[in-house]
Amino acid sequence: MSDWAAGRVRYLEWQAHHERAAPFYERLGHRGQPCPQPEYPTFILDLGPR
């Protein structure tokens, strides 16, 4: 996903359920940020300049 998006967008942002999906992204090295729905932390990936 990161390779595909790198040539198309600057940022990727997504929410993941804190028990079901977030641990997967955390194992990949991403860290979720709090959002208005605490069960769904927001993950942001900065892909650098386009």
Q: What is the pLDDT of residue 4?
A: 80
**pTM for the complete prediction?**
0.75
3-state secondary structure of 29: coil
Do residues 8 and 30 make contact, with C-beta atoms less than 8 angstroms apart?
Answer: no
Q: What is the pLDDT of residue 50?
A: 57
- Chain-centroid distance of CA 24 in Å reads 11
Tell me: the pLDDT tens digits for 1-49? Answer: 777 887 788 888 999 999 999 999 999 999 999 999 999 999 998 887 7
Do residues 40 and 19 make contact, with C-beta atoms less than 8 angstroms apart?
Answer: no
Domain ranges, ordered by start, for the chain = 2-46
Q: Which residues contact 50 (CB under 8 A, 6 or more apart)?
A: 7, 8, 9, 10
